[in-house]
Copies of this chain bind each other. A is one copy, B any other.
Amino acid sequence: MTYDVIFSAIGDPTRRSVLEALRHQPMTVGMLAKQMPVSRPAVSQHLKVLRNAELVTVTPRGTANEYALNKKGLEDIRGWLDGMWDDALEAFKSHVEQKPKSKPRRKK
């Protein structure tokens, strides 16, 4: 697992739309494409990226492929976020006593 793969995956708005469409129930590629502004192959390519980032899983059902959210990827994101928080809170605490700011700059 690399954060690069995960964050570049959710960095794309179309892919986030896919994830949000899968929040309530699994869907096939065709169903997803039908409610999105891009073509089915485009959705297919996005799903490949999401699969690689372990953000979705696939289950073949006949000729259809059913995609669903994958907890793994979401947990990875949470892990990164928690790591940021822990250290950040420390940093915030040790900077409650702010040093004085310099005088404001003249506007151009």
Interface contact A91-B61, CB-CB below 8 Å: no
Which residue of B has the minimal Cβ distance to A13? B4
| Chain B residues with CB below 8 A from A104, complex form | 60
- Residue from B11, B84, B94, B95 in contact with A7 in the complex, judged by beta carbons closer than 8 Å: B11
A10 close to B (CB within 8 Å):
yes
List residues of chain B with CB within 8 A of the CB of A107. none
For residue A3, give the distance in angstroms from its CB to the closest CB of chain B: 7
Give A62's nearest chain B residue, CB to CB.
B102
Q: How many A residues have CB within 8 A of the partner chain?
A: 43
Closest chain B CB from A86 CB (angstroms):
8
CA distance A95 to B71 in the complex (A): 14
Q: Is the CB of A69 within 8 A of B88?
A: yes
Inter-chain contact B11/A88, CB cutoff 8 Å: no
Contacts A3-B16, A11-B7, A71-B88: A61 and B23 contacting too (C-beta < 8 A)?
no
A87 to B69, CA, bound (A): 10
Q: Which of A57-108 contact B (CB under 8 A)?
A: 59-62, 68-69, 71, 74, 77-78, 81, 83-85, 87-88, 90-92, 94-95, 98-99, 101-102, 104-105
